[in-house]
């Protein structure tokens, strides 16, 4: 397992991040703890969860799993989504963040969070209030670093600018959806992250399971996340000609290198310069072991470029216009 610094910090994280969204739902607590311990034993140190995953159960399970190994773990969680029926049970007000961090610390059975992330932009709360609150949390020691997730480029830049101008804590990472079949972040987020030295820890790196190769075009799945019909990983968003062309390329390369399609899809991300640590999930120990098989080998330059070419976005304004003036 290799390690990278997370954005503009000295914090070293493993090249793979273990996502805990399935813990307590698709995966039992016993198997979740087994996955976490196996991950740590194999050199992984980066674990991501959120206060709303399985109604807080995910955080509790992660806390139980790492209580004897806390110093080994870079622990990430998130705040923003609704956690109760009352008006102030969501968002980024000072009140909600201070309540949220204490609730997460209790469930995680720890006295600090390594990476505290804003889950989705909140258009009600001024970013000034949010950043000042996060700055206080870092000063207090409850939080070590902050990040964001699912932000637009202007939203992230607005937050970074406020932090820099007022000499306050700034985001060291962003957590966007990004994979061979979801490369929208190439337009503005990834260039911004390069410019501002922000780490990228993508979620859904195998397209919500699509890039495993177990689905067929035009045949709606009856099980798994793609069968649920909602969200980014819905079958409606996956069942198109371009995605299946990408999948075909993945499968051809997987056969050539004697790896699975999921391992090849993760490997493409691991070898992409802007990516710090893809967040992989698993609904079984078998899936966990398969995803861990994406490390300690490499695609050739030709194979990587083949995947990059088949999955790239179409040429668009203003990018194609601005490229003429690069120096």
Residue 71 to residue 80: CA distance in whole angstroms: 26
- 3, 53, 112, 145: the active-site residue: 53
Helices and strands per DSSP (H, E), number in the chain:
12, 10
Residues present in the chain in total: 327
Among left, alpha and beta (phi > 0; psi -120 to 50; other), residue 141 is: left
**How far lies 269's CA from each of 141, 183, 204, 251, in Å?**
33, 11, 11, 16
Task: Specify whether 53 is catalytic.
Answer: yes
CB atoms within 10 A of CB 229: 13
Q: Where are the beta strands (DSSP E) in the chain?
A: 3-5, 12-14, 17-19, 46-48, 74-79, 113-118, 143-149, 171-175, 199-200, 279-280
Where does residue 188 rank: exposed (0-12), middle (13-18), buried (19+ CB within 10 A)?
middle
Where does residue 36 rank: exposed (0-12), middle (13-18), buried (19+ CB within 10 A)?
buried
Residue 226 to residue 233: CA distance in whole angstroms: 6
Asked if residues 14 and 48 have their Cβ atoms less than 8 Å apart, the reply is: no
Where does residue 241 rank: exposed (0-12), middle (13-18), buried (19+ CB within 10 A)?
exposed
Mind telling me the catalytic residues? 53
């Amino acid at each position: 397992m290799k390690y990278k610094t997370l954005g503009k910090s000295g914090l070293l994280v493993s090249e793979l991040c273990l996502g805990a969204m399935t813990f307590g739902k698709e995966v039992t607590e016993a198997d979740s703890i087994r996955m976490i311990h196996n991950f740590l034993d194999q050199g992984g140190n980066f674990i991501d969860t959120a206060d709303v995953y399985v109604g807080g159960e995910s955080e509790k399970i992660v806390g139980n799993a790492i209580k004897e190994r806390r110093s080994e773990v870079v622990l990430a969680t998130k705040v923003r989504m609704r956690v109760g029926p009352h008006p102030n049970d969501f968002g980024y007000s000072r009140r909600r963040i201070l309540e949220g961090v204490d609730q997460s610390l209790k469930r995680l059975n720890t006295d600090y969070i390594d990476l505290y992330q804003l889950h989705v932009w909140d258009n009600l709360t001024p970013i000034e209030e949010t950043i000042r609150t996060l700055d206080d949390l870092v000063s207090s020691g409850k939080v070590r670093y902050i990040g964001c997730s699912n932000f637009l480029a202007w939203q992230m830049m607005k937050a970074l600018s406020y932090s820099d101008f007022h000499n306050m804590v700034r985001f060291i990472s962003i957590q966007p959806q990004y994979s061979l079949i979801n490369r929208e972040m190439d337009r503005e987020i990834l260039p911004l992250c390069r410019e501002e030295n922000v780490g990228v820890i993508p979620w859904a790196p195998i397209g919500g399971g699509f890039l495993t190769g177990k689905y067929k075009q035009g045949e709606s799945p009856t099980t798994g996340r793609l069968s649920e019909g909602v969200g980014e990983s819905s079958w409606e968003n996956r069942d198109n000609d371009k995605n299946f062309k990408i999948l075909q390329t993945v499968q051809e390369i997987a056969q050539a290198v004697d790896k699975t399609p999921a391992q090849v899809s993760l490997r493409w991300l691991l070898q992409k310069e802007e990516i710090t640590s893809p967040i992989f999930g698993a609904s079984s120990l078998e899936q966990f072991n398969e995803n861990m098989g994406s490390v300690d080998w490499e695609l050739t330059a030709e194979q990587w470029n083949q995947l990059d070419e088949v999955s790239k976005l179409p040429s668009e304004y203003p990018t194609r216009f601005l490229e003429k003036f690069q120096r």
